Chains A and B, each alone.
Chain A
Amino acid sequence: MPKHETPLLDQLESGPWPSFVSDLKRQSEARHAKKNEIEYQIPEDVVDDLLGVLELSYKEGEVHWKHGGIVGVFGYGGGVIGRYCDQPEQFPGVAHFHTMRVNQPAAKYYKTDFLRSLCDLWDFRGSGLTNMHGSTGDIVFLGTRTEQLEEIFFELTHNLNTDLGGSGSNLRTPECCLGESRCEWACYDSQELCYQLTMEYQDELHRPAFPYKFKFKFDACPNGCVASIARSDLSFIGTWRDEIRIDQEAVAAYSGGEIAPNGGAHAGKDWGKFDLQKEVIDLCPTECMWMEDGKLKINDKECTRCMHCINVMPRALRIGNDRGLSILVGAKAPILDGAQMGSLLVPFIKAEEPYDEIKEVIENIWDWWMEEGKNRERIGETMKRMGFQRLLEVTGIKPMPQHVQEPRTNPYIFWKEEEVPGGWDRDIADYRSRHQK
């Protein structure tokens, strides 16, 4: 017998897509059946009361979680999101419902024994509800009470050899695509760079010292599977600067219809016979490809590495060998000043251990932002307010056409005094000697 009637939520149990309501009910039943024979450290009816408060929100169209709550583990300023229900008498099981962010292994590969031990811990000390994974990439433990926070942290670090992720005005948990582990398009080892920078900047991850949040995301190629260009303050996108490798026999096999284009991604509809001219050459944004004597030619110097031809013919075209990454700065969602896409700062940098060159770029940017950034100002907004030139100055990067879509359309150039011969101090008497009043 459920603790709360949920007539509205029950309607979300039908339909083919996995029902989170069915999932919550299943979790509630298992908890009451004491399936795992453990002494729950938070209320047994936590999931029932979550269903109850959610039903209330569905009825009223209003949220019932209180604003914030300052809770955390000793010595960390991030990793825990305090959450309290604003109807604690009605739903005591979720009166406290804090979230913990657990730093996920790069690209989210797991062995079952590790995840099972996380399940054991979370059944025992939390609600048993998780997000696999949160938007930033962490494993999210959803719902526990204040007195369990240190205990969970102790068990995570002592027994599971793992750590919390970031929240608040700090470095958020870095996230990467699966990169070289299972992708032929990876231009660098995104997992390793993600891991190394996560380890290097543990202090920044756990102790908020920034004006606002700061996100690193790692895409190993310009396809951008972790959306780094749209949502990370520093976006590391793999690229190459030599020639696309061509297997002409495979090109012919695509033309001949022996290999399905785009890895078979369009198999659900009959799009007609594959047309290399129309589907690859004519769609190339730089028009740098053509057929000559039955062979595909590419003027690589004009290629902007958009990936289209490689995506369409993965067996015929491969990324170049001189690989590295581009660094883009300042992406963010609209709050507060409108959405921003990452802007290209470093067109090409090698991604080789110990990644010192990359760390130098990061630290120069941080130093500047921590000095100049206003409270709750993302780096993208600081850049917009102070100008891209300042970013080039603080990072010591030479301005180049790659930095802009087009040069400026207004000539209001802020010349600096030292850039103008003779400086700005002038003598009015000297001027008057040449110009009458």
Chain B
Amino acid sequence: MAFISSGYNPDKPMENRISDIGPRHYSEFLPPVIKNNKGKWLWHEILEPGVLMHKAESGDEVYTVRVGSPRLIGTETLREALEIADKHCDGYLRFTTRNNIEYMVDSKDKVAALKEDLASRKHEGGSFKFPVGGTGAGVTNIVHTQGWIHCHTPASDASGTVKVVLDDLFEEFQQMRLPAQLRISMACCLNMCGAVHCSDIAILGYHRKPPIIDHENLENLCEIPLAVASCPTAAIRPSKTTIKDPKTGEDKTVKTVAIKNERCMFCGNCYTMCPALPLTDGEGDGLVIMAGGKVSNRISNPKFSKVVVAFIPNETPRWPTLAKVVRQIVDAYAKGARKYERVGDWAERIGWERFFEACDLEFTHHLIDDFRDPAYYTWRQTTNFKF
């Protein structure tokens, strides 16, 4: 492959340099029916799962067909998505915050052909490329992070765990038969690049072993004071140790850190600051399941997700226990909750002791908070409990 320059001259990096121009203005990309009615929408209706209709003051209507995507997509699939937009939507499309693609048309008679086209496209392995759904009182696309595909701190894969959960819940993506919307999110480590800490069900990658200390390289790779300061539980202190010099075979003393393992809560912040403190471990790493969070202000206040399963191992490639546990929660919720009631509101109404019964989940000591102040506010300070 020969290097082809775009015109950038490394000897004169400032020559013709353009910077800080920001994104393209959104108005360049709005479909005409959207642009013409911006700020003048009257109401909307979900005509069937995955198909929305918005009515404007002008009488105009826009029909939106929502399709799921695995978020990680190659240009081949993206180009196919664009062909569909050219064929049916005059070359416009949009993506949602939950990584769905939305195709919009300006009349109802264009919807059937679009839906048919989308449903007909499948990968060779049999999965849909563009499944329609993700609206209303159902499950929409699972927002997720990079996992083993691209991140340096994950405790699990994101694309794979999402794939198996959505395979299992596919009907709930294509239907609207739950008490309210059910938002599932996945983050492959505690950094939570996304909002899994406020999801109806959250899948969270988690490490369970303290960092390994790479004494030989630590001093060269890290600022020891930064590594020490990075630990929220003060488990790390500066230290010295003797190692064998790999070149000479002789003993030498190196500056390093020592870790009080019992103080470590495996957050990985030290690794972010110091690459000589890796955490990843085939046996130690796995998943935490959280439930009952939401971001909407509707009826009840936004709330955090709570840990309901402390650990599920990384059972690659299809994580059967994960899929089973998520299904148990979804089924129990579908059965027990009232119309409009989110998972967290349902759990609070029946009580968390009943939640664990209904979902057939074991309550363990790991589920009682022991982290600083927030812990106290989660213990029960009343005799109003249920047997």
Q: Which residue of A lies closest to B176 (CB)?
A: A268
Please give 20 more A-B residue pairs, beta carbons under 8 A apart, in addition to A18-B68, A182-B41, A231-B194: A20-B73, A27-B74, A63-B148, A65-B151, A112-B82, A112-B93, A114-B24, A116-B82, A130-B78, A132-B99, A133-B95, A154-B7, A158-B6, A163-B23, A175-B97, A177-B97, A230-B293, A230-B295, A230-B302, A268-B49
A157 contacts the other chain (Cβ, under 8 Å)? yes
Which residues 3-25 of B sit at the A interface, judged by CB distance below 8 A? 3-8, 10, 13-14, 16-25
List the 7 closest pairs (A to B, CB-CB), nearest first.
A13-B125, A265-B136, A27-B74, A15-B167, A268-B177, A333-B192, A67-B275
Q: Which of B108-116, B254-262, B277-285 contacts A (4 or more CB under 8 A)?
A: B277-285
A428 contacts the other chain (Cβ, under 8 Å)? no
Contact of A132 among B13, B62, B78, B164 (CB under 8 A): B78
Q: Which of A184-192, A389-397, A414-422 contacts B (4 or more CB under 8 A)?
A: A184-192
Q: Which of B126-134, B235-243, B325-333, B352-360 contacts A (4 or more CB under 8 A)?
A: B126-134
Verify B3–A41 contact, CB threshold 8 A: yes
Q: Which of A68-76, A289-297, A347-355, A356-364 contacts B (4 or more CB under 8 A)?
A: A68-76
Q: With A16-B128, A162-B21 given, is the CB distance from A112 to B7 under 8 Å?
A: no
A161 and B18 alpha carbons, distance in the complex (Å): 9
B137 contacts the other chain (Cβ, under 8 Å)? yes
Proximity bits, A226-250, B CB within 8 Å = 1, else 0 = 1111110000010000000000000
A403 contacts the other chain (Cβ, under 8 Å)? no
What would be 17 A-B contacts, judged by CB atoms less than 8 Å apart? Answer: A15-B164, A17-B163, A23-B74, A58-B316, A63-B151, A65-B150, A110-B95, A112-B93, A119-B79, A132-B73, A162-B23, A264-B46, A264-B47, A265-B176, A266-B339, A268-B136, A337-B232
Contact of B275 among A44, A68, A163, A198 (CB under 8 A): A68
Which residues 59-80 of B sit at the A interface, judged by CB distance below 8 A? 62, 64, 68-79
Contact of B123 among A18, A116, A155, A283 (CB under 8 A): A18
A99 contacts the other chain (Cβ, under 8 Å)? yes
Give the residues in chain B near A231, CB-CB below 8 Å: 194-195, 198
B149 contacts the other chain (Cβ, under 8 Å)? yes
Give the residues in chain B near A267, CB-CB below 8 Å: 46, 48-49, 136, 176
Give the residues in chain A near B16, CB-CB below 8 Å: 158
Give the residues in chain A near B350, CB-CB below 8 Å: none
A157 and B126 alpha carbons, distance in the complex (Å): 39
Q: With A76-B19, A110-B92, A116-B82 given, is the CB distance from A105 to B176 under 8 Å?
A: no
Verify A103–B92 contact, CB threshold 8 A: no
Verify B5–A151 contact, CB threshold 8 A: yes
Verify A266–B137 contact, CB threshold 8 A: yes
Verify A186–B39 contact, CB threshold 8 A: yes
Verify B68–A111 contact, CB threshold 8 A: no
Give the residues in chain A near B297, CB-CB below 8 Å: 222-224, 229, 237, 305-307
B250 contacts the other chain (Cβ, under 8 Å)? no
Give the residues in chain A near B20, CB-CB below 8 Å: 163, 202-203, 206
Q: Which of A121-129, A365-373, A429-437 contacts B (4 or more CB under 8 A)?
A: A121-129
Give the residues in chain A near B148, CB-CB below 8 Å: 54, 57-58, 63-65
B190 contacts the other chain (Cβ, under 8 Å)? yes
| Residue of B41, B68, B314, B340 with highest tally of chain A CB at under 10 A | B340
A146 to chain B, nearest CB (A): 12
A133 to chain B, nearest CB (A): 6
| Residue of B54, B68, B195 with highest tally of chain A CB at under 10 A | B195
Give the residues in chain B near A288, CB-CB below 8 Å: none
Contact of B1 among A39, A109, A163 (CB under 8 A): A39
A183 contacts the other chain (Cβ, under 8 Å)? yes
Contact of B175 among A74, A268, A314 (CB under 8 A): A268
A237 and B298 alpha carbons, distance in the complex (Å): 13
B218 contacts the other chain (Cβ, under 8 Å)? no
A400 contacts the other chain (Cβ, under 8 Å)? no
B70 to chain A, nearest CB (A): 4
A95 and B163 alpha carbons, distance in the complex (Å): 26
What's the interface size class on B, roughly?
35 or more
Q: With A65-B151, A335-B269 given, is the CB distance from A75 to B17 under 8 Å?
A: yes
A131 and B46 alpha carbons, distance in the complex (Å): 27
Which residues 162-194 of B sit at the A interface, judged by CB distance below 8 A? 162-164, 166-167, 170, 173, 175-178, 181, 187, 190-194
Contact of B302 among A15, A137, A229 (CB under 8 A): A229
A181 contacts the other chain (Cβ, under 8 Å)? yes
Interface of B is mostly: loop
Verify A157–B18 contact, CB threshold 8 A: yes
A71 to chain B, nearest CB (A): 14
B29 contacts the other chain (Cβ, under 8 Å)? yes
A349 to chain B, nearest CB (A): 17
A409 and B265 alpha carbons, distance in the complex (Å): 30
Proximity bits, B328-364, A CB within 8 Å = 1, else 0 = 0000000000011000000000000000000000000
Give the residues in chain A near B17, CB-CB below 8 Å: 74-75, 157
A372 and B44 alpha carbons, distance in the complex (Å): 47
A314 and B52 alpha carbons, distance in the complex (Å): 13
A233 and B105 alpha carbons, distance in the complex (Å): 36
Which residues 260-298 of B sit at the A interface, judged by CB distance below 8 A? 267, 269, 271-273, 275, 278, 280-283, 285, 293, 295-298
A83 and B275 alpha carbons, distance in the complex (Å): 13
Q: With A39-B1, A54-B149 given, is the CB distance from A61 to B283 under 8 Å?
A: yes
A404 contacts the other chain (Cβ, under 8 Å)? no
Verify A119–B125 contact, CB threshold 8 A: no
| Residue of A10, A18, A22, A42 with highest tally of chain B CB at under 10 A | A18
Verify B34–A338 contact, CB threshold 8 A: no
Verify B269–A336 contact, CB threshold 8 A: yes
Give the residues in chain A near B295, CB-CB below 8 Å: 224, 227-230
A424 contacts the other chain (Cβ, under 8 Å)? no
A14 and B163 alpha carbons, distance in the complex (Å): 10
A16 and B70 alpha carbons, distance in the complex (Å): 12
Contact of A111 among B6, B29, B126, B176 (CB under 8 A): B29
B318 contacts the other chain (Cβ, under 8 Å)? yes
B387 contacts the other chain (Cβ, under 8 Å)? no
B38 contacts the other chain (Cβ, under 8 Å)? yes
Q: With A15-B163, A66-B275, A162-B24 given, is the CB distance from A206 to B96 under 8 Å?
A: no
A287 contacts the other chain (Cβ, under 8 Å)? no
A2 and B194 alpha carbons, distance in the complex (Å): 34
A21 contacts the other chain (Cβ, under 8 Å)? yes
A113 contacts the other chain (Cβ, under 8 Å)? yes
Verify A107–B123 contact, CB threshold 8 A: no
Give the residues in chain A near B22, CB-CB below 8 Å: 103, 162-163, 195, 198-199, 202
B386 contacts the other chain (Cβ, under 8 Å)? no
